[in-house]
Amino acid sequence: MQCVICKTGEVKSAKTQAEIKVGSDHLLVPVDAEVCVQCGEAYYSTDTMRYLEQVKDNFVRKLIAPPLVGHVYQVP
Ligand SMILES: [Zn+2]
């Protein structure tokens, strides 16, 4: 499969880190995806999308409390 973003890269299955935005928080979730070797665009399967929705939902409802790995700073 060819990447629809850069139109030149080949898309291959790989482990990647999906990023979910929850307000000003970001969740990094390791998932299997199809990733473009050229531009890095990731394509997720329906199952993975559903899993990410679930993770987001669990985080919003505070059912999971993943460790903090970084901070977001706002420069005024
Ligand atoms: Zn690409």
CA 75 to ligand 1 center in whole angstroms: 31
The confidence score (pLDDT) of residue 54 equals 98
CA 10 to ligand 1 center in whole angstroms: 7
Of the pLDDT bands very low, low, confident and very high (cuts 50, 70, 90), residue 72 is confident
Query: What pairs with residue 76 in β-bridges?
Result: none
- Picking from 17, 16, 7, the residue whose alpha carbon sits closest to that of residue 38 is 7
The tens digit of pLDDT for each residue in 11-69 reads 999 999 999 999 989 999 999 999 999 999 999 999 999 999 999 999 999 999 999 99
- Picking from 27, 24, 18, the residue whose alpha carbon sits closest to that of residue 64 is 27
CA 57 to ligand 1 center in whole angstroms: 29
Indicate the domain borders of the chain.
11-60
CA 2 to ligand 1 center in whole angstroms: 8
The confidence score (pLDDT) of residue 61 equals 97
